[in-house]
Amino acid sequence: NAGVMQNPRHLVRRRGQEARLRCSPMKGHSHVYWYRQLPEEGLKFMVYLQKENIIDESGMPKERFSAEFPKEGPSILRIQQVVRGDSAAYFCASSPSVWDIVVFEQYFGPGTRLTVT
């Protein structure tokens, strides 16, 4: 059973370019979460998605950042017109379906390390 997959593992972009990060959840998981981690810091929640729906994007910057989880294919985190401050590790996690208020474990992918030059 493959775990959460992310690609690319490393991404270098020049300022002003677009970055696309992909996340394939574990088999059977329909919930995806994106987190950002700056060096020497904890992970910060960005967005929570189910198939074709954004459930909570309260941690996402209002501009330049967007996320989707289409019916088919991986979840994508898109950063337009990247700036140096976007350099970070971006982790996605997945979990099984939600049952009312029951919370399930989140399993993390290996991360994408974005470097903006």
Binding site for other proteins (CB under 8 A): 31, 33, 35, 41-45, 48, 55-56, 58-59, 91, 93, 95, 98, 100-111
Dig out the tokens for 13 from the structure. 């972009």
Tokens read off for 45? 């929640």
* Beta carbon nearer to other proteins, 23 or 116: 23
Min CB(12)–other proteins separation in Å: 17
Residue among 18 and 104 whose Cβ is closer to other proteins: 104
84 phi and psi, to 5 degrees? -60, -35
Concatenated DSSP letters of 55-86: EE-TTS-SSSEEEE--SSS-EEEEE-S--GGG
- In the complex, the smallest distance separating the C-beta of residue 92 from other proteins, rounded to whole angstroms, is 10
Report the residue number, 17 or 29, with the smaller CB distance to other proteins: 29
3-state secondary structure of 109: coil
